Amino acid sequence: MKHVARKRFGQNFLTDKLVLDNIIDAIGPEKGQALVEIGPGLAAMTALLLKHLDHMHVVELDRDLVARLENNFPREKLTIHSGDALKFDYGQIPVPEGQKLRVVGNLPYNISSPLLFHLADFAHLIEDQHFMLQKEVVERMVAAPGSKTYGRLSVMLQWRYDMSLMFIVPPTAFDPPPQVESAIVRMVPVPAQRKLACDGPTLEAVVMKAFSQRRKVIRNCMAGMCTEAQLVEAGIDPSMRPETVGLAQYVALSNLLKQPA
């Protein structure tokens, strides 16, 4: 029986074989690796991944699709976690000693940002992530300071990951086709020795405050949270706009504000 895509789950199923092959090549799965796919859908990518893996995990919310997966794949090849990817504990997936978890998925556009932030909590357990996302979202993720697309998502994810836009995927590659272009993004957690030391919640609060009024200069955006002198001490010109302030400067300001009075 044909599965009808459900709008409430943001379902757009990838069907283009060339695009699927390109994604598999970008991921480079190998036997013995621990890999989880978020939202396998009709399992087009799942089936291709399993050609290279001994076993993998999937997280799927749609119970009809869970039943389909159970019927189509043996348990010794596929472990199915029926539930919400936004609430799933990725730390529970067993990983061979000395390895980390690999995460892949064609992510629903309507939950992409909160899911990326949820996964960031598990970054220390993850080797890499390869996701299909709305192209606009990927452009925001990888944007550099000074870009119109640089913002809260850019800063918070770049603090945790090295990221690159791999390639663009047209709407025609999906059924039903979305109204926007998609893109594949690779996300590799920044190694501990290179990650800028910072309190995550403080950085989040600073960045949220800074970009709440991005058309204003940062002196005005940060009023009530820090002084102009503190901006200068963090290496930030108070007349700069939030989208021109780099990650290292936001981290410096966060560390300054986190210090005890």
Going by pLDDT thresholds of 50, 70 and 90, the confidence category of residue 178 is confident
Any residues with CB less than 8 A from the CB of 224 and at least 6 apart, and which?
none
Is 60 flagged in the annotation as binding? yes
Q: Could you identify the residue written with the tokens 């926007």? A: 180
Q: pTM for this structure?
A: 0.91
> Is there a cis peptide before residue 176, judged by omega within 30 degrees of 0?
yes
Is 14 flagged in the annotation as binding? yes
pLDDT of residue 9: 45
If you average pLDDT over each of 171-175, 184-188, 255-259, which comes out highest? 184-188
The 3-state DSSP class for residue 164 equals strand
pLDDT of residue 8: 45
Strands 174-175 and 13-14: antiparallel
Domains, the chain, in order of start with CATH, read 7-189 (3.40.50.150), 200-258 (1.10.8.100)
10 Å Cβ neighbour count for 82? 15
Is 12 flagged in the annotation as binding? yes
- DSSP lists the bridge partners of residue 187 as 129, 163
Is 86 flagged in the annotation as binding? no
Name the H helices within 121-189. 135-142, 152-160
Query: Which is higher by pLDDT, 4 or 160?
Result: 160
Is 203 flagged in the annotation as binding? no
Give backbone dihedrals phi and psi of 13, rounded to 5 degrees, phi first. Answer: -90, 130
Is 22 flagged in the annotation as binding? no
Average pLDDT in the 196-221 region? Answer: 94
Going by pLDDT thresholds of 50, 70 and 90, the confidence category of residue 159 is very high
pLDDT of residue 12: 80
Cα-to-chain-centroid distance, residue 183: 12
- Whether pLDDT at 10 is above 90: no
DSSP calls for 5-25: P-GGGT--EE--HHHHHHHHH
pLDDT, tens digit (0-9, with 9 covering 90-100), for 221-236 = 999 999 999 999 999 9
Residue 204 is which amino acid?
E
pLDDT of residue 109: 83
